[in-house]
Amino acid sequence: MKKLVYAFVAYCIIHLLVFVPFVQAQTAVDTSIEMADSMRSDGKIYVVVLVVLIAFTGLMIYAISTDRKLSRLEKEIKSLKSE
């Protein structure tokens, strides 16, 4: 089971390393269908990406701090129990 998890993680990392640089590879573009192309060429979509990332970072920092608080409590309770 552990081996499977490691293999999976390795796969994910390789996946990221190999494919991310090519993600922008262009496909045949059908200009008749309305897409937010101008939004990207204006560069404004990056603003949205940034905003989402900041919001997500904030949430994750909060989650990590909750995680650490729990660890502290666990230690306290365990020491109480062993007394």
Query: Contact between 80 and other proteins (CB under 8 A)?
Result: yes
Query: Contact between 74 and other proteins (CB under 8 A)?
Result: yes
DSSP sequence for 1-43: -HHHHHHHHHHHHHHHHHHGGGTTPPPPP-TTS--THHHHHTT
What's the CA gap between 70 and 78, in Å, rounded? 12
Among 1, 3, 4, 27, binds other proteins (CB under 8 A): 27
Phi-psi region of 27 (alpha: psi -120 to 50; beta: other; left: phi over 0): beta
- Closest to other proteins by CB, 42 vs 66, is 66
Query: Contact between 4 and other proteins (CB under 8 A)?
Result: no
Give contact residues for other proteins (rule: CB under 8 A).
8-9, 12, 15-16, 19-20, 23-27, 29-30, 33-36, 40, 45-46, 48-49, 52-53, 56, 60, 63-64, 66-68, 70-75, 77-78, 80-81
